[in-house]
Amino acid sequence: MLHIDTLTKRYGQRTALNQLSLRLPAGQFTALLGPNGAGKSTLFQVLTGLFVADAGEAVVAGHSLRTEAVKALKHMGVVFQQMSLDLDLSVRRNLQFHADLHGLPRQVAQQRIQEGCEALGTAADLDRPVRELSGGNRRKVELVRALLHRPAVLLMDEPTVGLDPKSRRDLLAAVKADVAARQTTVLWATHLVEEAEAADRVVVLHKGQLLADGRPDDVQVSLGGASLEAAFIHATQ
Ligand SMILES: Nc1ncnc2c1ncn2[C@@H]1O[C@H](COP(=O)(O)OP(=O)(O)OP(=O)(O)O)[C@@H](O)[C@H]1O
């Protein structure tokens, strides 16, 4: 569903992504585990069309980002590292705006907004300005927004930074529920090993290159360590 083929991105002399290749099938929750500066955000910026890769290609649901960017992006939902809701608008208005951008019929949008917020426990906030919401609830609203157009691929860029343990668990559970219900392809960037342990697959990125790829247990064995955390720290120190 998401195919990344020898993707390279440089900032001047610095290579942030170095010939990265990855194939993510439908229905798989993959954690992109990497330390600070590994290239996680750069990958997301390329995949979402904010930056153009210097070489290589990415294909989303059969559509090339280079030649069919609009179609490719239609199949993608994104939660960025930085909060990107309009603080002065209500939750409902923020979500409706996204639904309009994707051309969802009003009734369908209203139903999905209601159901999405109910599923994440934020329905009581629907008519409040986002400014009044906690960080955890803002993140949940961003997830509802990312899923409104029912994307085949969901990208989450370190979505739990700054959240308390319960909000982190809620967010993870909601994404896993979407994978189970719709066979969504998820790429969840994190530097938290405990989040990677909860994934179907872990891809370890270091200095723009793939260090390991497999089930959490297999990655631990391949990197060599008493735990996934020990293996990750050893491999990326
Ligand atoms: N706009 C930029 N200009 C120059 N260098 C950049 C820019 N953005 C990122 N880099 C560099 O590219 C490399 C990858 O950075 P990136 O932000 O993609 O990593 P990351 O894994 O997302 O890190 P973090 O976990 O800290 O967010 C780093 O060496 C970083 O310093």
Structure-token match 């194939």, residue found: 23
Cβ–ligand 1 contact at 33 (below 6 Å) = no
- C-alpha dist (Å) from residue 71 to 28, 59, 193: 22, 10, 34
Looking at the CA of residue 81, tell me the nearest atom of ligand 1: 27
**Count of alpha carbons within 13 angstroms of residue 133, beta-carbon side:** 29
* Coil, strand or helix at 22: strand
Query: For residues 20 and 210, what is the distance between their CA atoms, to the nearest angstrom?
Result: 7
Nearest Cα residue to atom 2 of ligand 1: 11
Residue 108: name the closest of 91, 94, 89, 95 by CA: 95
* 178-216: pLDDT as tens digits: 999 999 999 999 988 889 999 999 999 999 999 999 999
Specify the pLDDT at position 94: 98
How many whole angstroms from 43 Cα to the centroid of ligand 1?
10
Domain boundaries, the chain: 83-149
How many whole angstroms from 5 Cα to the centroid of ligand 1?
20
Reported ipTM: 0.96
Cβ–ligand 1 contact at 34 (below 6 Å) = yes
Give 231's pLDDT tier (boundaries 50, 70, 90).
Answer: confident
Q: Strands 55-60 and 63-64: what pairing?
A: antiparallel
Tokens representing 139 are: 């993140």
Structure-token match 């979402």, residue found: 48
Which residue out of 41, 45, 203, 211 has the highest number of ligand 1 atoms within 8 Å of its CB and is therefore the one to mutate?
41
Structure-token match 């090993």, residue found: 193
Q: What is the mean pLDDT of the chain?
A: 94
Cβ–ligand 1 contact at 50 (below 6 Å) = no
Tokens representing 54 are: 């210097």
Does the pLDDT at position 161 exceed 90? Answer: no
Nearest Cα residue to atom 30 of ligand 1: 37
- C-alpha dist (Å) from residue 14 to 50, 57, 190: 18, 19, 22
Residue 207: name the closest of 34, 54, 41 by CA: 34
Q: What are phi and psi of 94, to 5 degrees?
A: -60, -45
